[in-house]
């Protein structure tokens, strides 16, 4: 079981409101990536220490008042194939509509857990009205009000029971899993084909069946890794290629299934908000990142071009700046191996563990010299630091008053970690806990 949760249902039942309720508080607290746009329809949720990726399918429909049933059907079908858990939202004030029936028909056939969420149950009387939805044949009802938040706790309690624990499973033979992600047409599939050779491009789609993300094993030039299949790899024979929603689902899923993301950009376009959204999701999922600026052959260059381009990107993705940027041309076969080698290096950085003793010897004197600012007349004190045993670098700072440690100081500590240990390309998780 993975961690991708999709919200499905017809328009106006409250999908976006629910999406915002589940993701917003958390995003507001931890969203340090400045360029992330508000109009993205995927976000991170967290409940009782479990993290998941939430997708609002409704966000992808145009002119939501007269969406065609076909379009909804398509989205629900894709969500059912690609997500791990479905939240099917209905509206208590409207009863069961034809479109609800249509979605329920599909949902009943999903071989995935479906939570039937009756929304707009803002008061107790409406709980009685909710009972009609048992008629959809999807089992238990979750009566909630996305507007006032009632009932969402119970829903999240049961939802997160299905989400795996944070500790990552022993990963396949320790072989890095690399996903090439990015907007359409930046050159992802050309890149993969150039690496794998043309014959490996022949992928047989199994019509009408649920497939899991495919990892292609690649061994050459002393490297051994998996490439994670994304939309670009399955161009042929797929019906939903042109749907933005499908491409986003595949991206989310690829990020979920990899250790390292190669985020590919088109040199002609620079870095755009969609790219930053993908980067944001990779970082939130604690994945390593390499930024690859492809089609470098199409740009007129002088001696400062790479430097200027690099600065521009780093500026846009601040404050996360500790990331390698490689300039490639797939058509001219420039630096393709370098991109892979860099991904392998980031993989090693992501696995790095620092001995507790060493960590404290290095950081405690720095903290003594640069103590956290006193807050509300209280002195803040870090006592010691340990690294958690997770699949990605995560550090706990034990201190007297964790609630008073704010973002700027967190960033200071992160920078110190980066300065003294090599975490190039890797997001760091930093927690404060009481001791
Ligand atoms: P979507 O099209 O399914 O994403 O629906 P929206 O989230 O845009 O919500 C549609 C309308 O229902 C908006 O006017 C919301 O304010 C309203 N709405 C959403 N959740 C609730 C709720 O729990 N109670 C009430 N009374 N209204 C809600
Ligand atoms: P994807 O949608 O990200 O998988 O992109 P494709 O691999 O399908 O590439 C889109 C287009 O860009 C194709 O016409 C490629 O031939 C072209 N392309 C890919 N890489 C390069 C490159 O490095 N330079 C140039 N000039 N074109 C490229």
> Any idea which of 132-141, 196-205, 283-292 has the lowest mean pLDDT?
196-205
State whether the Cα torsion 155-41-56-126 is positive or negative: positive
Query: d(Cα 389, Cα 72) in Å, to the nearest integer?
Result: 42
Judge if the beta carbon of residue 151 lies within 6 A of ligand 1: no
For residues 227 and 153, the model is more confident at: 153
Burial level of 384, CB count in 10 A (0-12/13-18/19+)?
middle
> Any idea which of 211-220, 288-297, 306-315 has the lowest mean pLDDT?
211-220
Alpha-helical runs (H) found in 110-176 = 124-130, 152-161
Q: What is the pLDDT of residue 40?
A: 60
User: Which is the closest atom of ligand 1 to the Cα of 146?
Assistant: 23
> Which ligand has the shortest distance to the CA of 119?
1
Tens digits of per-residue pLDDT, 44-55?
A: 888 988 889 998
Judge if the beta carbon of residue 262 lies within 6 A of ligand 2: no
Burial level of 212, CB count in 10 A (0-12/13-18/19+)?
exposed
Judge if the beta carbon of residue 57 lies within 6 A of ligand 2: no
Ligand 1 pocket test: pick from 7, 12, 22, 39 the residue with the most ligand atoms within 8 Å of its Cβ: 12
User: Which is the closest atom of ligand 2 to the Cα of 298?
Assistant: 26
Judge if the beta carbon of residue 35 lies within 6 A of ligand 1: no
Q: Which of 204-213, 229-238, 317-326 has the highest mean pLDDT?
A: 317-326
Judge if the beta carbon of residue 58 lies within 6 A of ligand 1: yes
DSSP 168-225: PPPPGGG--EEEEE-STTSSHHHHHHHHH-GGGG-----TTS--PPPEEEEEETTEEE
Tens digits of per-residue pLDDT, 107-139?
A: 998 889 999 999 999 998 899 999 999 999 999
What is this structure's pTM? 0.80
Tens digits of per-residue pLDDT, 408-430?
A: 999 999 999 999 999 999 999 99
Tens digits of per-residue pLDDT, 261-284?
A: 999 999 999 998 889 989 998 998
Query: d(Cα 331, Cα 313) in Å, to the nearest integer?
Result: 23
326-350 average pLDDT score = 96
Q: What is the pLDDT of residue 80?
A: 83
For residues 291 and 27, the model is more confident at: 291
355-364 average pLDDT score = 97
State whether the Cα torsion 77-82-85-88 is positive or negative: negative
Q: Whose CA is nearest to atom 10 of ligand 1?
A: 12
Query: d(Cα 410, Cα 300) in Å, to the nearest integer?
Result: 40
- Dmax (CA) for the chain in angstroms is 71
What element of type H or E holds 417?
helix 407-420
For residues 313 and 209, the model is more confident at: 313
Q: What percent of the chain has pLDDT over 90?
A: 57
Q: What is the pLDDT of residue 174?
A: 79
Distance 19 CA to ligand 1 centre (A): 11
Copy the structure tokens of residue 102.
Answer: 């249509």
Distance 91 CA to ligand 1 centre (A): 9
What element of type H or E holds 46?
strand 42-47
Q: Whose CA is nearest to atom 9 of ligand 2?
A: 187
User: Which is the closest atom of ligand 2 to the Cα of 294?
Assistant: 23
Copy the structure tokens of residue 229.
Answer: 């299949």
For residues 70 and 17, the model is more confident at: 17
The answer, yes or no, to whether residue 401 has pLDDT greater than 80, is yes
> Which ligand has the shortest distance to the CA of 181?
2
Query: d(Cα 264, Cα 295) in Å, to the nearest integer?
Result: 10
For residues 233 and 423, the model is more confident at: 423
Judge if the beta carbon of residue 90 lies within 6 A of ligand 1: no
The answer, yes or no, to whether residue 257 has pLDDT greater than 70, is yes
Ligand 2 pocket test: pick from 188, 233, 330 the residue with the most ligand atoms within 8 Å of its Cβ: 330
Q: What is the pLDDT of residue 402?
A: 93
Judge if the beta carbon of residue 232 lies within 6 A of ligand 2: yes
Judge if the beta carbon of residue 334 lies within 6 A of ligand 2: no
pLDDT band for 29, please (50, 70, 90 cuts).
Answer: very low
Q: What is the pLDDT of the chain when averaged over all its residues?
A: 85
> Any idea which of 4-8, 194-198, 299-303 has the lowest mean pLDDT?
194-198
364-376 average pLDDT score = 93
DSSP E strands, 193-324: 215-220, 223-228, 260-266, 288-294
The answer, yes or no, to whether residue 240 has pLDDT greater than 80, is no
> Any idea which of 148-152, 214-218, 275-279, 322-326 has the lowest mean pLDDT?
214-218
Q: Is 389 helix (H, G, I), strand (E, B) or coil?
A: coil
Distance 253 CA to ligand 1 centre (A): 27
> Which ligand has the shortest distance to the CA of 22?
1
């Amino acid at each position: 079981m993975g961690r991708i949760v999709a919200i499905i249902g017809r328009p106006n039942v409250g999908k976006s409101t629910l999406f915002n309720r589940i993701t917003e508080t958390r995003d507001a607290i931890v969203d340090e990536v400045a360029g992330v746009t508000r109009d993205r329809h995927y976000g991170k949720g967290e409940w009782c220490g479990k993290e998941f990726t939430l997708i609002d399918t409704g966000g992808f429909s145009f002119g939501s008042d007269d969406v065609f049933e076909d379009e909804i059907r398509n989205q629900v079908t894709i969500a059912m194939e690609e997500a791990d858990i479905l939240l099917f939202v209905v509206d208590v004030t409207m009863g069961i509509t034809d479109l609800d029936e249509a979605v329920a028909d599909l949902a009943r056939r999903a071989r995935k857990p479906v939570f039937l969420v009756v929304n707009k149950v803002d008061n107790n009387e409406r709980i009685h009205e909710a009972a009609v939805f048992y008629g959809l044949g999807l089992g238990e009802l979750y009566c909630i009000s996305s507007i006032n938040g009632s009932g969402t706790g119970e829903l999240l309690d049961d939802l997160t029971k299905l989400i795996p624990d944070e500790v990552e499973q022993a990963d396949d033979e320790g072989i890095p899993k690399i996903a090439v992600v990015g907007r359409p047409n930046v050159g992802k599939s050309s890149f993969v084909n150039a690496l794998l050779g043309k014959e490996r491009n022949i992928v047989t789609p199994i019509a009408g069946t649920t497939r899991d993300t495919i990892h292609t094993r690649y061994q050459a030039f002393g490297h051994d890794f998996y490439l994670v299949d994304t939309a670009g790899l399955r161009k042929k024979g797929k019906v939903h290629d042109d749907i933005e929603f499908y491409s986003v689902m595949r991206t989310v899923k690829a990020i979920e299934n990899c250790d390292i993301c190669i985020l590919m950009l088109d040199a002609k376009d620079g870095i755009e908000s969609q790219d930053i959204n993908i980067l944001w999701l990779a970082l939130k999922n604690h994945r390593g990142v390499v930024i690859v600026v492809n089609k470098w052959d199409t740009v007129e260059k002088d001696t400062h071009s790479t430097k200027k381009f690099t600065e521009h990107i780093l500026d846009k993705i601040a404050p996360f700046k500790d990331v390698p940027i490689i300039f490639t041309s797939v058509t001219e076969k420039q630096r393709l191996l370098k991109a892979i080698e860099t991904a392998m290096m980031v993989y090693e950085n992501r696995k790095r563990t620092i001995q507790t003793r060493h960590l404290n010897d290095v950081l405690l004197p720095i903290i003594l010299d640069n103590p956290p600012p006193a807050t509300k007349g209280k002195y803040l004190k870090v006592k010691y630091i340990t690294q958690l045993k997770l699949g990605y670098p995560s550090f706990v700072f034990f201190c007297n008053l964790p609630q008073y440690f704010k973002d700027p100081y967190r960033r200071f500590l992160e920078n110190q970690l980066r300065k003294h240990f090599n975490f190039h390309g890797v997001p760091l998780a930093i927690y404060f806990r009481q001791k």
